[in-house]
Amino acid sequence: MTTTVPGTSRTPGPSGQERADPLNPPADPHNPLAGPWDAAGFERRLRGLAAARYHDRHPFNRRMHAGGLSADELRTWVANRFYYQCAIPLKDAFVLTKLGTPDRRRSWLRRIQDHDGLTEGDGGIERWLRLGEAVGLRREDLLTHRRLLPGVRLAVDGYVGLCRDGTALEAVASSLTELCAPSIMLTRLEAFPRHYPWIDPAGLAYFRDRVPQGRRDAAEALAWVTEWALTRAEQEQALAALSFKCDVLWALLDSVQGASAPTALR
């Protein structure tokens, strides 16, 4: 069996030393003529980027999962993340307009339905509102975005803008942070009852439902991105879109964290 050395596109030679693979040349980001990575190498780069830059490493998320947030910090996060929740079906509607076949549109449409629900009182946005009530926020405060921070608005609007103005490849690739999302949901399902027992566990339904949805969505997006990005330039575009999305999630938490800092430090 031929194995590829992680992070390179070279294969080990018979005596263990590397030999160049002419069909899969080594990475050189400055060479416009560089050939594409093979499917496995491209997928490894997508997964590696998402894992290295995902917001589970952000100090605010680390503190959340270790039980270090005050009730007010949790409320600030939930209220601000609601703006992201509301933006997801909007960006998915832009993605839909870029998909050229009924089967792909039918499949992507499911994401909008996951968040908006098929009927009143159903769906992810409603479940996030219930999470808000469970942490002590009024529904009305969420719906009016009264606590929305300017940096969160800019970050989330940036994500919607990428999906509006970018190619189908960029828009779908930017959703690939979801490769890491099921694991962060499981972390919260374990951490919240332990560290924040004052939150009604019924309010955590959003996190529970996102585990299978995130797995399914990430697998679908990964299959499409690896099918579409055939040239090195397209692969780089997909990686850049995913990198941008990592920045969106990171910047959102930077803002939320800044709002919790003591006034003297702001």
State the residue for tokens 């924040």: 196
Neighbouring C-beta atoms of residue 204, cutoff 10 Å: 20
Closest distance to ligand PQQ from the beta carbon of 59 (Å): 15
Nearest to ligand PQQ of 27, 211 (CB atom): 211
- Considering only residues 88, 135, 173, 252, which one is a binding residue for ligand PQQ as defined by CB under 6 A? 88
Nearest to ligand PQQ of 20, 52 (CB atom): 52
| 210 beta partners | none
Count of residues that interact with ligand PQQ, criterion CB under 6 A: 8
Amino acid at residue number 117:
G
Q: For residue 154, what is the DSSP state?
A: H
Neighbouring C-beta atoms of residue 27, cutoff 10 Å: 16
- Which residues in 99-158 contact ligand PQQ (CB under 6 A)? 124
Nearest to ligand PQQ of 169, 184 (CB atom): 184
Four-point Cα dihedral 77, 80, 81, 84, nearest 10: -160
Closest distance to ligand PQQ from the beta carbon of 18 (Å): 35
- Spatial separation of the C-alpha atoms in residues 204 and 211, rounded to whole Å: 12
Length of the chain measured in residues: 266
In the bound complex, which residue of the shown chain has the CB atom lying closest to ligand PQQ? 177
Closest distance to ligand PQQ from the beta carbon of 181 (Å): 4
Closest distance to ligand PQQ from the beta carbon of 184 (Å): 5
- Which residues in 165-204 contact ligand PQQ (CB under 6 A)? 175, 177-178, 181, 184
- Quick check: 80 binds ligand PQQ (CB under 6 A)? no
- Quick check: 225 binds ligand PQQ (CB under 6 A)? no
Joined tokens for residue 213: 């949805």
Nearest to ligand PQQ of 34, 239 (CB atom): 239
Nearest to ligand PQQ of 184, 199 (CB atom): 184
Q: CA 173 → CA 21, 31, 197, 232, 238, distances in Å?
A: 27, 23, 37, 15, 5
Closest distance to ligand PQQ from the beta carbon of 157 (Å): 14
- Spatial separation of the C-alpha atoms in residues 234 and 220, rounded to whole Å: 18
113 contacts 42 by C-beta, under 8 angstroms: no
Residues in contact with ligand PQQ by the rule CB under 6 A: 88, 124, 175, 177-178, 181, 184, 210
